[in-house]
Chain A
Amino acid sequence: MMTEKEIYDIPQEKFRFINLDDTLHDEKFSGEALGFFKDAWVRLRRNRVAILAMSMILFIVFMSIFAPMFSGYGYNDQNLNRLNMPPRVPGLEKIGIFDGSKTVNSVRKTSLSDPEKFPEGSVIEILREYTIKDVEMVDVKVNAYIYEGIGDEYFLMGTDYLGRDLWTRLWRGARISLIIAIVAVSANIFIGVVYGAVAGYYGGTTDIIMMRITEIIAAFPQVIVATLLILVLGTGIEAIILALVINGWIGTAKLVRGQFLRFKEREYVLAARTLGVPDKKLIFRHILPNSIGPVITRAMISVPNAIFSESFLAFIGLGLQAPEPSIGVLLSDAQKVLLTYPTQTLFPAILISVLLISFNLFGNGLRDAFDPTMRGTD
C-alpha cells in the first residue's frame, strides 16, 4: 500500500493521457426514461383485470355511439302493433334462445283454432291444459312474431310498451347515462379541484370558512336535493346533472385540499415563492400536478356512482323527459312488467352491472397505477 505521502509524490512522468481519441459519453440508462403517465400506463398494462375493464368500457362507449345509428330503428319509432315483443336474434334463434317465443297465458282452447287470434304456425307448444268454470283453458308458447303478424323482423332485445326497439333504446340510454355521468363528474372535478386548491393553499381562516361551507352543503341529503331540483326545474338532463353536482364535488375538494396541505410547505414551493412566482401559478403549476393521480382515480370511481345515482333517480320516477331513455328509465319501465316480460329488465340490468363493475375495476387499476409508492417497483 502506498502511504499518503507517496501518493502525492508520484512523479509526473508516470502519468499518461488516456481516451485522447475517444469522445466521452455519460453512461446510458439501462431502462427507458419514464414520465409520470407512461409509468402509470406501464403498471396499468400489467393489470389484466383493469385492461379487461377498460376494453369493456370502450366497447360500451363504442356501441352507445354507433349502435343506435345502425340498428335500423329510431329510439322513438312507435308502432302499437308490436307492443312488448320478445327478443329475437338471428342465429341464436336456431338453438332455441331468443327465438321470439313467448308464453300466452289463459287462452280458451277454442281460440287456438281461430286464425284471427292464432295465425297459422304461431303456436309452438301447449304448456298446460286446465279448466276454469267449465271452460277448457290452455297456456301456450307462441312465436310472437307470427302471432302478432309482423313476420320477418328481428328485434334483438324486443320492444317496449309503445313498440319501440329496445336494442336501440338501450344503447341510446347508455349514451345518455354516460353523458350525464361524464358531464356531472367533470363539473364535480373542476369545482372540487379549484375549491380544494384554494382552501388548502391559503389555509387559515379562508380554509376554515370554506370547509364549514362544504360541511353544510354535504349535510343536504342527495335524494331530497334532487327531488326539490326536479320539482323546480322539471325533469330533464340538466336537472339531473345539477342534482349530481350540487354536493358531488365535496369529496374531490377535500381530497385536493389534503394534497395541498401536504405539499405547500415543501422546499421547492418555498424556493418558487422566494423567486416571486405568483400564487395562481404556484397552485396550478407547482402543487396541483402532485394530486393529479388521486383526482383521476376519484373521477373514474365517481362515474359509476353518477350512473347509479341517475338510474336510482329515474327508478323512483325522477327521470328524464320522456321519450328520452337512460338505463335507469329503461329499468324503471321494465320492472313494471318484470313478471310478464322479464327480458326487458334483463338487458339493461346486465348493461348497468357490467358498466359499474368495469368502471370500479378500472378505477382500482388506475389507483394502483398512479400510486407513487409503487413507482418503479416493477
Chain B
Amino acid sequence: MKTTRKLLALLLAGVMTASLLAGCSSSPSTSSSGSGSSSGETVEGEKIFRRSTLQQATNMNPHQGGDAGSIEVSDYVQAKLYRVVYNEDKTASVPGPELAASEPTTEDGYTWTIKLDPNAKWANGEPITADDFMYSWEMALNPQLANTTTSGLAKNHIQVENAYEYYMQLSTGVPVEWEDVGFKKVDDLTLTVTTSEKYSARDVMYHFCMRYTGPVYKEMYEAGMDANRTSTTYGTSAEEYMSSGPFKLDTWVKGTEVTMSKNENYCHADEIILDGMTVRTVPDENTQIQLFQNGEIDYLSLGTNGLEVFGEDPRTQEYPSTTLRSIQINTENPDKPYLGNLNFKKALYYGINREELANALNYIPAAYFLPTPYVAYSDGTLFRDIPEANAYIPENNGYDPDLAKELFDKALEETGVDKVSITVIYSETVPALRTASEYIQNELTQLFGADRFELKLQSMAQSALLDIMRSSQSGPTNTWDLGWSAWDLTAAQLYPNRKFEPYTSTDSRRFAPYNSPELDALYAESISEECRLDEKKRIEVTMEMEKLVIDNVLEIPVYQQQAYVIHSDRCILPSDVRVNTIGWGWAYMDIDLTK
C-alpha cells in the first residue's frame, strides 16, 4: 500500500516535470518552415501576401459586420464609388474614383452627378450599373432590414436628402417613400445624389469611400433573404458573396483563414501587382510572433512581447495610432458630488505623470484630445502640427504634482469631504489599461495621501463597461465613478471637429454627462455650412472646442497608442510611410520572390 503510494507520487512528479520540459522544448519546433521562406530557389511563383489578424472576419455584407476583423478583409474585396489613393509623393491620401469614372459634379452644391466607370465589373465579369447602386442603397437604408452600419450612408460626411428619415421611419413613425430619398438613377451609368445641405466635392467623395456605400450583388442578396425580408445571409460565406474590389474572395474558413486572389475584372486591375492575399486568424500574439519568425506570415503587429523580441530590428516601423485612451468622469454621481467639482477633476488631470506611464507602455503621453494622425487641412497638414493647436496644452504633458495637490485640497474644502473614495472601471480585454490603472492608483494615492484618497480598480467585460457608463445618459446614476474609454471615429481622421460629436449633450454615444452648452454651440458651429466650406474656420472652432474640453476637464486624456509593425523582407511596399486611411497600401504592394 505504502510503496504503491510512494511510487505513485514519484510517477506523478516525473510526469509533471516531463510535461513541463516538453512544453518548453516543443514550442520553437512546432511549425515546419514556411512555404515562402528564403534561399531563392524559385523566382517563379505566386505573389501572395500573407498576414494574420487577431479577430476573425464575421460578415462581408457591407451593410453588416462593422467589426475590425470583417473590415480588414472587406476593404480588399468590396469596391465603392470612390477610394482613397496616394498623393503624388505617396505621403498622404486623397480621394479618387474607384467605380466612378470621375469626381462628382454639381451646379449648386446640392445635387451631385456621379458617372460610373464603364469598365466597372463584378468579379464574375458582369457590369456594375446604376441599378446595382440603387438596389444596394435601398437595401442599406431599408428600415425592415435593421442594418447596423448603414446610418452612415444617410448622414456621415454628407447628409442625403430624406435618407435618414427613410432609414428611421419605423421608430419615428413618419412614413417616407423611397422615391423621396435623394438617390436617383439617371441612366445605366449615371447617378444623382441630392444632399440636404451644401457640401464640397471632397466631402461627397469621402462619403462614398465608406464600405457600406458599396454595391451588393442583387441575385445573391435576394436569394439569402429570409421570408419576412428582415435579414439576409449575403456575405456570410464565400459562396454567398460577390467581390468587386481589387481582390476576390476565394475561400473563407470561419475563424481560420480567408484566401483572396487578384480580381482580373476590377476596373483598376492594372494597378494591382499581387496575385493574392491570405488572412489567417491567430488570436494570440505569441503565436503570431512564431509564425512570423518561421516565415509563415509577412506582417506582424508588435505588442509588448513583440517589441521585446524584435527590439532594434531595422524592419520595425512605428506610427502613431488614432486610439487615444482617456478616463471619463461621472460628474453627476449623486453619492459623490466631488466628482463634479472642477478643482477635483483638474487635480486628477494634473496628477497623472503621463510621460513615465507612456514610456513603460511604449506609447505617447497625451494631455490633449485629438490624436496626432488627425488631418486638419486638405493639403495633408496634421492638426497637432499646427502651433496654435499646441499652445493651450498644459506643459509637461499636463503633469504638475504641486498644482494637483493644491487643487485637491481646494476641492476637498469646497465639497466638505474628508476622504475621496472612487473606483475606476476598465475593460479586461486591453491589458495596458490595467497597467495604466494600477500605475495611476499607486501614483495618485501617494500624491494625495492614502488617508484622503482611495482609488479602487474594477475590471469588467467591454460590453458591461459600456452599458454601465452609458446608463448615465438616462439621468444621474451612482453605478460608476471613473471609467476608461477610447474614441476612434473614422470620420474625425479627416474632419477633426467630428471628434467632439460624442461629447455633445444629446449624442447617443456619449459616455459621461458632459452637459456643456458652450461645447454644443461650438460643435453646431463647426458643422455649419460656413465651417464646412472654410476649413481654416473649422479648425479654429475645433481648437476652441479642444481648449474648452481641456479647461473644463470633460474627460482626462492619458495616452495615445503607438503602433509598431514589422514587414518581412519579401514585402515591397508602395510607400515607406504609413498613410492615414490607406495604411501600408497592401493592395498595391509587390512581393520579392527571391527572398
Contact = CB atoms under 8 A, between A and B. Distances in A.
Interface of A: 47-49, 76, 78, 80, 83, 104-108, 111, 132-133, 135, 137, 161-162, 231, 234-235, 317, 319, 321-323, 336-340, 342, 349, 353, 357, 361, 364
Contacts of A161: 304, 435
Given A104-B311, A323-B457, A337-B305, A49 B464 contact: no
Contacts of B431: 336
Contact of B435 (A137, A162, A353, A357): A162
Interface in B261-317: 286, 289, 304-305, 308-315
22 contacts: A49-B2, A49-B6, A49-B9, A76-B442, A78-B438, A78-B442, A80-B439, A83-B360, A105-B310, A105-B311, A106-B309, A161-B304, A161-B435, A235-B458, A317-B459, A321-B456, A321-B458, A323-B438, A336-B304, A337-B304, A337-B305, A353-B16
A105 B314 CA distance: 12
B439 A342 contact: no
B434 A106 contact: no
A342 B314 contact: no
Contacts of B289: 339
B359 interface: yes
B24 interface: yes
Interface string B457-475: 1111100100000000000
Contacts of B312: 106-108, 111, 137
With most chain B CB atoms within 10 A of its CB, the pick from A161, A342, A353 is A161
B286 A339 contact: yes
Contact of B2 (A47, A78, A111): A47
Q: Chain B CB within 10 Å — which of A48, A78, A353 has the most?
A: A78
B309 A105 contact: yes
B172 interface: no
Given A105-B309, A105-B310, A342-B24, A317 B428 contact: yes
Nearest to A134: B314
A368 to B, nearest CB: 8
Interface in B425-465: 428, 431, 434-435, 437-439, 441-442, 456-461, 464
Nearest to B458: A234
Nearest to B429: A317
Nearest to A76: B442
A132 B316 CA distance: 11
A235 B459 CA distance: 7
A137 B314 CA distance: 9
A80 B360 contact: yes
- Chain A CB count within 10 A is highest, among B312, B314, B437, B442, for B312
Contacts of A337: 304-305, 308
A143 B259 CA distance: 46
A361 B7 CA distance: 13
Given A105-B311, A108-B312, A361-B9, 14 more contacts: A48-B6, A49-B2, A49-B9, A106-B309, A107-B311, A108-B314, A161-B304, A162-B438, A231-B464, A323-B438, A340-B308, A353-B16, A357-B12, A357-B13
A353 B15 CA distance: 12
A62 B539 CA distance: 64
Contact of A106 (B12, B27, B313, B356): B313
B309 A322 contact: no
A231 B459 CA distance: 10
Nearest to B428: A317
Contacts of B464: 231
Contacts of A105: 308-311
Contacts of A111: 312
Interface in B463-499: 464
Contacts of A234: 458, 460
B525 interface: no
A179 to B, nearest CB: 19
B10 to A, nearest CB: 10
Contacts of B12: 357
B439 A106 contact: no
A67 B2 CA distance: 34
A302 to B, nearest CB: 20
Nearest to A316: B428
Interface in B348-369: 356-357, 359-360
A106 B315 CA distance: 11
Given A106-B313, A339-B286, A322 B459 contact: yes
Contact of B305 (A78, A137, A336): A336
A104 B441 CA distance: 31
Nearest to B285: A336
A80 B443 CA distance: 12
Nearest to B13: A357
Nearest to B20: A349
Contacts of A48: 2, 6
Contacts of B286: 338-339
A323 B437 CA distance: 9
B310 to A, nearest CB: 5
B304 A322 contact: no
A105 B293 CA distance: 13
B305 A339 contact: yes
A161 B315 CA distance: 26
Nearest to A117: B312
B153 to A, nearest CB: 35
Contacts of A361: 9
Contacts of B356: 80
A235 B425 CA distance: 11
A123 B461 CA distance: 43
A315 B268 CA distance: 49
Contacts of A342: 24
Interface in B1-54: 2, 5-6, 9, 12-13, 16, 20, 24, 27
Contacts of B460: 231, 234-235
